[in-house]
Amino acid sequence: MALYVLYEHAAGYAVFSVKEFEEIAMLLPQVEQSVTDLSRFNSIVKLLGFSPFKTAVAALENVNAISEGIVPDDLSVFLDSVLPKASKSNKFTLGVADAKLGAALGEALKIQCSHIGAVPEILRGIRHHFPKLVKGFSDKSAGVAQLGLGHSYSRCKVKFNVHRSDNMIIQSIALLDQLDKDINTFSMRIREWYSYHFPELVKIVPDNYLFAKVAHFVKDRKSLSAESLEALEEIVMDSEKAQAIIDASKMSMGMDISVIDLLNIEMFAKRVVHLSEYRHQLAAYLHSKMGNVAPNLQSLIGDQVGARLISKAGSLTNLAKYPASTVQILGAEKALFRALKTKSNTPKYGLLFNSSFIGRANAKNKGRISRFLANKCSIASRIDCFTESPSNVFGEALKQQVEDRLKFYESGETPRKNLEVMKEAMEAAALINPAGTENGTKKKKKNKKRKQEDAENNGDAADETLNETANGNGTIAEEEPEADGEPKKKKKKKKNKNKEAADE
């Protein structure tokens, strides 16, 4: 059986014929050694045909198709012209690098493909010596083609990424969590550092952000006077606290501090203030992003919990594919596997524990409300992922269902049925976006018309066949006599049967 090898290069397609394939397959170590030697490799492989790409756009289209397991038109035409026609006497195998491409070629062109055995080693040798195997081709031109196609392919993949909006949410929530940790650490440091000079300020201003702002404003406590009362009121938003700061500065037990130390404390306090302000801006950005990408999930469990679920799943599409049981314990994988290993109770919740619903439930109802909330989160994520016109109508309805379920656990008040709630939500969504419903009704009408037309056509065809095959007495009409005369015999038998029935 002959062997041909397909090699996809950035410059085009090439097909090589391999001599003595069966002997080569038997001597695989010798093939591995001859790969690096061009003279020995030329005795094994011979170029059969080379089809260069006409433009860079054509090269990019072909590479995109091959990466998705689709046979491009250029490749099918090239293989038809180069490869011999398969027959019983002339059988061959086409060696390919990718198993998906081999399966697609087998379906499209009915070619037997292989990607195992000696094929990977032969392709490695072709890749190593390709500029020398093709006439008029050099290492420099091969490098330029590979670099240009690599850049355009990567740019295309990044540009048409389906999860590009999800990636912004994932990065934002990761940065938000990191900022929370950093601001907390820096605030503790500024409180401890400035307390050497003004220890009474910690009790008067317990908030970290306000403490950093006050420390940046006060600097040396001895410089405080009645003139700075208004500025302190603007920072603290409380006249009593501002007056208490001024009074405490006059009777403070803190140590005196040098100007250089105060400058460092002032610069550090300024950084902490800027970080806190940026954290608020980032939270507002995350809120707007979640409103655009996942409004129903945002309405149900909030910005940060919803963003953490998307980040843990990897994308909104992955979260929509998860069942409710996976969403419930998402983020508690270590506890789950530890429970499975020790055969103890599995965790009831993961990231959903940060939701306010679970905190409001009783201890015995936390697992129930977690399971119910995970169910609603999976519904909300699927609506957000697959809807054409995003809105938070379904999220508000699902949130109200969770509230009703909490009331049911506390007071026993029966909640509304899910069918009624979803009907109301669909009606409200139709009022918000009537264009989408109109398109849906138009599609339904078109489908109904098509079904009616098909039914009418089928009915007309059936009537015509009945009229052609039936006569007035309801018996089968005579068929045209054939060479063997079988239809006449059948009719005679039926007549004889009818006569016998009449005689009886």
One DSSP character per residue, 173-196 reads HHHHHHHHHHHHHHHHHHHHHHTT
122/255 same-domain check: no
Does 210 lie in the same domain as 139? no
Regarding whether 188 and 306 lie in a shared domain, the answer is: no
Q: Which two tokens stand for residue 29?
A: 């170590």
- Which two tokens mark 78? 């090239």
Same domain, 178 and 126: no
Residue 168 makes CB contacts below 8 A (sequence gap 6+) with 289
User: Contact 327/334 with Cβ under 8 angstroms?
Assistant: no
CA–CA dist 316, 314 (Å, integer) = 7
Q: Are 280 and 428 part of one and the same domain? A: no
Q: Is residue 451 part of a domain?
A: no
Boundary residue ending a domain (284, 318, 341)? 284
Q: Are residues 104 and 205 in the same domain?
A: no
Amino acid making up residue 225: S
The answer on 337 and 223 residing in a single domain is: no
Contact status, residue 6 vs residue 79, Cβ threshold 8 Å: yes
Residues 8 and 133 both lie in one domain: yes
Residues sharing a CB contact under 8 Å with residue 345, sequence separation 6 or more, in sequence order: 339
pLDDT of residue 37: 78
Contact 285, 172 (CB under 8 A): yes
Residues forming a β-bridge with 2: 92
Domain boundary among 374, 402, 435: 435
Please state, in angstroms and rounded to a whole number, the distance separating the CA atoms of residues 412 and 425. Answer: 25
Q: What is the CATH number of the domain that holds 230?
A: 1.10.287.4070
Phi first, then psi, for residue 421 (nearest 5°) are -65, -45
Tens of pLDDT, residues 263-289: 999 999 999 999 999 999 999 999 999
Does 191 map to a domain?
yes
For residue 350, give the CATH number of its domain: 1.10.246.90
Residue 73 · residue 103 · CB < 8 Å:
no
Count CB neighbours of 279 within 10 A. 17
**What is the per-residue pLDDT for 31?**
62
Give me the number of domains the chain comprises: 3
Give all strands of the β-sheet with 113-114 in edge-to-edge order: 45-52, 12-18, 2-8, 92-95, 113-114
| pLDDT score, position 201 | 93
**73 and 97 fall within a common domain:** yes
141 and 49 in a common domain: yes
Distances (CA, A) of 73 to 10, 62, 106, 169, 451: 17, 9, 15, 39, 36
Are 83 and 211 contained in the same domain? no
Instruction: Specify which residues 8 forms β-bridges with.
Output: 13
Which pLDDT score is estimated for 69?
Answer: 83
The segments of the chain whose pLDDT lies below 70 read 20-34, 88-89, 158-164, 434-504
Rounded Cα distance, 134 and 9, in Å? 12
By residue range, what is the domain housing residue 256? 168-284
- 158, 177, 205: which is the final residue of a domain? 158
The whole-number pLDDT of residue 187 equals 94
Instruction: Give the pLDDT confidence score for residue 87 in this predicted structure.
Output: 73
